[in-house]
Amino acid sequence: YPAADWLKNALGHFSGPEIAAVGGPAITPESDTLRQKASGLVYSSPLVSAGYVYRYLPRPKRFVDDYPSCNFLVRRQAFREAGGFSTGFWPGEDTVFCLKIARDLKKKIVYDPKVLVYHHRRSLFYAHLKQIANYATHRGYFVKKFPETSLRPAYFIPSLFIVGLMAGLPASLLNPTFKIFYNSALFFYLTIVLIFSLRKDFRLIFLVFWGIIFSHLIYGLFFIRGLFSGKLKEE
């Protein structure tokens, strides 16, 4: 649901003809359950969303070329010219639509932290991870189909983490020196995750800690799946 001045803050941007769409952060409401709040904290963690934290928390105004449709306003003419949202991809329809705006129409998309909505999250763990898997599958597939906005280093990091984890395990068992390096790297990773999971509520520490780790693993695996998919089931 939108914040009080959501529409007012968004409409001001459409005074310029070069602006086709406006988006803003979708933050987790206080009324959500503990597990929903944990999901929101996982998404808003820099360890999960990296440079895209602004989608979940208010951050400085900027231009973007890919934005979630959960908080997205589009000029009617631009919407029609871009052909609307493609139902051939879900989730991922917003990525395709934004690409049409930026690449085909040569228009701009503005992110404004004051264009704020409250977005109910899916609960950790199953529903959250199922959503992560869907996002990752489409993003991996989009690397090939829409590289303009999907062939970006940040999206590959979880998969590289998994490859390193799996490749390093047998090597650590065979080489004592490498084992020290492997275990140290793993300990460092877990320590960083713990630091970013710290909250006043100990229940949230547990949920966010494991939520970040499982989000990395699930995203990494399903990104690879999408990357090597010949075609997605909805096509």
Q: What is the pLDDT of residues 40-55, one digit of tens each?
A: 999 999 999 999 999 9
Phi and psi at 74, nearest 5°, equal -125, 140
Structure tokens, 185: 């790297």
Give pLDDT, residue 235: 67
Total number of domains constituting the chain: 1
Stated pTM of the model: 0.92
Give pLDDT, residue 232: 81
The neighbour count for residue 167, using CB atoms within 10 Å, is 11
Asked, for residue 235, whether it belongs to a domain, the answer is no
DSSP 13: G
Asked, for residue 95, whether it belongs to a domain, the answer is yes
Asked, for residue 214, whether it belongs to a domain, the answer is yes
Asked, for residue 75, whether it belongs to a domain, the answer is yes
Q: Which residues of the chain are under the pLDDT cut of 50?
A: none
> Burial of 63 by CB count in 10 Å (0-12 exposed, 13-18 middle, 19+ buried)?
exposed
The residue with tokens 């990752």 is: 136
Asked, for residue 173, whether it belongs to a domain, the answer is yes
* Distances 87 to 8, 68, 83, 92, 97 between C-alpha atoms, Å: 29, 15, 11, 9, 11
Asked, for residue 56, whether it belongs to a domain, the answer is yes
Let me know: does 173 contact 24? Beta carbons within 8 Å.
no
Give pLDDT, residue 89: 81
Asked, for residue 206, whether it belongs to a domain, the answer is yes
Domain containing residue 194: 6-227
Beta-strand relationship, 108-111 and 26-27: unpaired
Asked, for residue 233, whether it belongs to a domain, the answer is no
